[in-house]
Homo-oligomer: A and B are copies of this chain.
Amino acid sequence: MSDIPRITIDQCGSHAGETVEIAGWLYNLRKSGKIIFPLIRDGRGIIQCVGLKNSLPEDLFNALKDLTQESSVIVRGKIRAEQRAPGGYELDLESAEIVQRVPESHPYPITPKDHGIEFLMDHRHLWLRSRRQHAILRVRHEIIKAIRDYFDSNGFTLVDTPIFTPAACEGTTTLFEVNYFDEEKVYLTQSGQLYNEATALAFGKTYCFGPTFRAEKSKTRRHLTEFWMVEPEMAYATLEDVKNVAEGLICFVVQRVLENRKNDLTDLERDTGKLESIKPPFPRISYDQAVEILHRKGSQIEWGGDFGGTDETLLSEEFDRPVMVDRYPSQVKAFYFQPDPDRPEVALGVDVLASEGYGEIVGGGQRIHDLALLEKRLEEHNLPREAFDWYLDLRRFGSVPHAGFGMGVERCVAWLCGIEHIRETIAFPRMLYRTRP
């Protein structure tokens, strides 16, 4: 197109004083007589351009002056450091090329005015261009990258587990069913854990990281039907290892986001002070202690019940960082939890509740490694022994104490971004009444 180097807006810092080309879209436009200020976004940043009537061809100046929101445009000009500009730089327009002009007769539907949430969700494919959605998804990318880097550099092997699964991990009522060549039924995975136990005995420490599915008929701000989860699993490991790895992982992720996504957190008006205090050690309390705290705060919960969203919020208010709650009653936990040898009525499991009332982000614990005990539990839970025969093999051949956990990506994104509703934490959320676009 020209000899002028094409750069992205995040690269302006190393091109100050140079003439460059930026390909993007019109985000906004101010004008004042003989001067126009087109705000250009290119997916990596937003920069204000300055166009003077005197220094641009008349046709171009007039075309730019009336340019419509989200029209695609390539701008050329000199990068100038400008302290007052949000990104620190402005571009003095020398020329431009309008690639596609959005017509006034059919304007870009998302305007600076308020839109209802259903309208925005119907236009999710366009809404993603907004500054706030953009910031959230860039934080999401950073979180996912940090999670993978953490496990990759700590001796874990990535072994992805299957999406099509023949059996349910935690009951069948919340499973999505798939017609598999009209011959048999398979389900969409709710967790890779059972498979992780096999791969941990093969690789020592493993993790899987992919989409998981729950057909929950709950319409809350914390539930998606399709969400991403990372699940590490470790052979020769106990509940204590789960706590330490989860703590290390969470601190690593928070630090990375603070280091690399400061601008996005600013765009989201996130109070980063609250994130900066997320350092080890996290408070560790037992389920019993948690129930005491809840009673003191007026909750009616009885020993033996699982915590609801309100309980989780009350608990997390007590601490300035995530809190680890362990040794839940076995009756509220899945069949595979190792019982506490000193108190068989509680499970060697732990939940991590995010700070600021964001609820559970991690759940895990130690698995039963004794064949006879696991067989007994399958019976007690009325689970079909045949379907779990391969899983029992893991206790027949080289069984060892092992442990792991799952961490939901979307809840982490909501927490670190400080946003209310989980629907904004993924590009195309899937919920009870939402499968489009």
- Specify which of B44, B74, B397 is in contact with A126 (CB 8 Å cutoff): B397
Whether A204 and B8, one on each chain, are in contact in the complex, defined by CB atoms closer than 8 angstroms, is: yes
Whether A398 and B138, one on each chain, are in contact in the complex, defined by CB atoms closer than 8 angstroms, is: no
Q: Tell me which of A43, A215, A398, A428 has the highest count of chain B C-beta atoms within 10 A of its own C-beta.
A: A398
Q: A166-B436, A390-B436, A399-B72 are in contact. Are A181 and B215 (CB under 8 A)?
A: yes
Cβ of A210: which chain B residues have Cβ within 8 Å of it?
210-211
- Specify which of B133, B159, B162, B228 is in contact with A160 (CB 8 Å cutoff): B228
- 0/1 interface trace, chain A 166-198, chain B, CB 8 Å (1 if under): 100000000011111100101010000001001
Whether B235 and A23, one on each chain, are in contact in the complex, defined by CB atoms closer than 8 angstroms, is: yes
Tell whether A161 is near chain B: CB-to-CB under 8 Å: yes
How many interface residues does A have (CB within 8 Å)? 89
Q: For residue A374, give the distance in angstroms from its CB to the closest CB of chain B.
A: 13
Tallying the copies of this chain within the complex gives 2
- 0/1 interface trace, chain A 345-360, chain B, CB 8 Å (1 if under): 0000000000000000
How far is A397 from B155 in the complex, measured between Cα atoms in Å?
46
**Interface set of A (CB-CB < 8 Å, partner B):** 8, 23-26, 42-44, 70-72, 74, 99-100, 102, 106, 108, 123, 125-126, 128-129, 133-134, 137-138, 140-141, 144-145, 148, 152, 155, 157-166, 176-181, 184, 186, 188, 195, 198-205, 210-211, 213, 215, 217, 225-226, 228, 235-236, 369, 390-391, 393-394, 396-400, 426-428, 430, 432, 435-437
Q: List 6 A-B contacts (CB under 8 A).
A: A23-B235, A43-B205, A99-B399, A100-B398, A145-B148, A159-B427
